[in-house]
Chains A and B, each alone.
Chain A
């Protein structure tokens, strides 16, 4: 490290990649993105802001000027961190506090990546007395095919999120192919007064679909598709599937009734949940909720147990977590309770990394204070 021999190109590159300059620039970009994305939420809502700024690799300004997206900046910072940590470890006197802090940060970033890649979020809404065994995604849609309606049914499904006109999806077990004619992530359905085709395109009488602007809340988007179902060896069926239509499209093929639906992506739960009772409490004399909770029966492996899910007290079982998210009440007193359902095996990573980072920061700053006090003592 003292100019006796010129550093190799690799060492120079490592020095640059792991430098505080790169860190500073990366953090500045991250700060700009965070600020911008926050302001963007005012007009466009959280999900669109996430889509454009926080989950993206590149943010296109005005449609053609590229700006690094949060994912790209975080990836660059992660490289910066790895190189920096490598260089710290290679040093003889390594500042332990800094090492710990940056290791923790790296872990936090990796934990974020794990969550982004593998975690799922969905929701389950139950009326009092109702039972549910699968939760529905807020934002993702699927094209699903199944034959037997019953407690145990095998569903074949393709994600519908990036369907395009002209796409073909093959369902081997059902022996049929579906061709997409038109697909909209958020659609408006229209009925025409003209006589219906036979069989009708849609059970609801929908005759055409038009695209609508994506809503602020992805839960408000309703997907719609026009498609042709081609069962092997029989006549094709043309259909309009509109997300608001809850009953599937049914037809007969190979002596079996087949059902096709465009629906919010389902995530099967490893247990069955029954809502027994929903309760809420108001602050006296106001309409501000003080507390709300749901009494549920959870049936896993045939054994049923009762428990209460409330704000700040979720149900955790088999890697799934159910949180009390919201509720709905009809004037006649019928109550629905909505649970947010998450499945994330990386959920403890941020907890651990936070501890590591804070310990590292405290170590570093305390060590510096002690060193300074020593220097002051030595100087006196």
Chain B
């Protein structure tokens, strides 16, 4: 038995670690240099890889496309925009949108730009009308109009962002003499905007002279040159304000990152910038021609040159780390291993064989490695404690619950802690995935949060408090389920009750401390300790609920079943404080809104209420029956 368990465990672990990164590893080497190019987005410097993921997540809600990493999709979008128009990447959550823009014949949830294009004008009109309303007054469908329209226009500007580097018929030079004069290669006649732009100094004097000569007297070469120069002028005026800001410009001591188009529009190209842009063109054309080695070389040239010239910044320093973080996807791996450990923990709870318990324990420790590493990396990359948004708090609460589960297991050695650790690792990390698509999870924070001291005291403490109460709630479920079949006072029930008691006390202390530290922070920043702000109230509700449970238990108003049921209901209170308050959309703390979240929250609340409403009467019923018999 023992041996079978260990064997199974090793096989499953191998599968988890081996299979997870396969999708991400494909062609990693070809795109490695490109992925490393620094980009400024969402107020920070990030690797192109993160930029690609963010855009793909924003459009499609997924971080890979056709089982290929986002960076490959981005390369195709930038360098071969015609082809990417057929990629079905635009997630439409509400079919009503398709109807509204006259495309009700379409089925599915994700569509290509090409498919949506016929409705684009109508969508622009609808989105513009919806934008007239204040954000909080918009209906779900109006939000969807705006969201999809913004995605489509972002896509369109990304598609144009490397057009300067791609050969275009507008810049065809058919006259051989002209090609020779401009120093253009003779083996083709279609050139890019940049090819012509970089030679503007050669023909500028000619154009000047032509202005004094009537067009009838121009030579064929001169006519073509003039046409070329007006196209150049028009393009230069038209293609402005486009992404991607990847060239650092320092003026008057402050650094700004601009896109190649904007750099070209400024007109003043110093030698390094000229070289960078030329290398960007080499990169694009090498990709188009399938010359992998050239593509890699050009990309790493650009990355190196930009990094050498940009001012020192955190994003730049940890660029490689962020890339590794993206590639390894530590939380996804941890989640898989927690999942396996969870199956074993069920066996351990039901079968009471020490082997299953040991396997569970080992599995949790294994999963904790990438989980911890992921948190540490995030802290390093952001230079902040790991909880600046809802996504990050889930990662952290999950981690604390796992550790609390391990502590319970260490003391009780009965499988309960293993169950707690593995299910909270699995479930909370799974839920966290839902929040990833809301934007840059390592993004900047608003001014009031810009204080590492308070983030790491108040926010960390209160989040640990959430974790304690959630962990108590999970054990509460186990207690109620066990109480359905075990007699009162059974050792298993007593152990579970002790665990609930300890976890709830832990939750109470940290929620209370966190709430009060929040008051201290508020007093320091706004001059008032307590202002009945919704998030403050949410935290207070947790403290009150824990205190009610303890006092009611001491007063004998509730028994063990009531206490356990109370800990289960405590999960609802935590969910309200943690997520519900952000959905209220008022107060200083409502920075983490995610649409569609409300439904999930209500489902969870109803599920918990139902659970208590079903189990508690059944347990009470069993007891009275026993007493009658």
Contact = CB atoms under 8 A, between A and B. Distances in A.
A252 B538 CA distance: 56
A311 interface: yes
Interface string A32-56: 0011011101100110011000100
A19 B557 CA distance: 12
B238 interface: no
Contacts of A290: 444, 447, 450
B110 interface: no
Contacts of B40: 284-285
A349 to B, nearest CB: 9
- Name the residue in B508, B529, B557, B581 with the highest tally of chain A Cβ atoms < 10 Å from its Cβ: B529
A28 B447 contact: no
Contact of A121 (B44, B527, B540, B587): B527
A50 B532 contact: yes
A24 interface: yes
A321 interface: yes
Interface stretch (A151-159, A266-274, A340-348): A340-348
B512 interface: yes
Contacts of A42: 584-586
Interface residues of A, number: 52
B243 to A, nearest CB: 11
Contacts of A194: none
A288 B530 CA distance: 26
A177 interface: no
Contacts of A311: 447-448, 450-451, 525
A283 interface: yes
Contacts of B517: 354
Interface stretch (A141-149, A201-209, A355-363): A355-363
B555 A19 contact: yes
A289 B444 contact: no
A314 B44 CA distance: 28
B299 to A, nearest CB: 23
Contacts of B516: 350, 354, 357-358
A360 B130 CA distance: 55
B154 to A, nearest CB: 15
Interface stretch (B171-179, B388-396, B398-406, B546-554): B546-554
Contacts of A23: 547, 551, 555
Interface in B313-355: none
A187 B541 CA distance: 37
A23 B534 CA distance: 24
Given A27-B547, A286-B444, A342-B528, A350 B450 contact: no
A46 B531 contact: yes
A321 B454 CA distance: 19
A351 interface: yes
A34 B512 contact: no
Contacts of A112: 530
Given A31-B541, A340-B527, A288 B509 contact: no
A288 B446 contact: yes
A300 interface: no
Given A27-B548, A285-B257, A350-B516, 7 more contacts: A31-B544, A31-B548, A285-B256, A286-B43, A288-B446, A290-B447, A312-B524
Interface of B: 40-44, 245, 255-257, 444, 446-448, 450-451, 454, 502, 505, 508-509, 512-513, 516-517, 519-520, 523-534, 537-538, 540-541, 544-545, 547-548, 551-552, 554-555, 557, 576, 581, 584-587
28 contacts: A20-B554, A21-B555, A21-B557, A24-B548, A24-B551, A27-B544, A27-B547, A31-B545, A31-B548, A34-B537, A34-B541, A46-B586, A46-B587, A121-B527, A283-B44, A285-B41, A285-B43, A285-B245, A288-B43, A288-B444, A288-B446, A288-B447, A312-B451, A350-B529, A358-B509, A358-B513, A365-B502, A365-B509
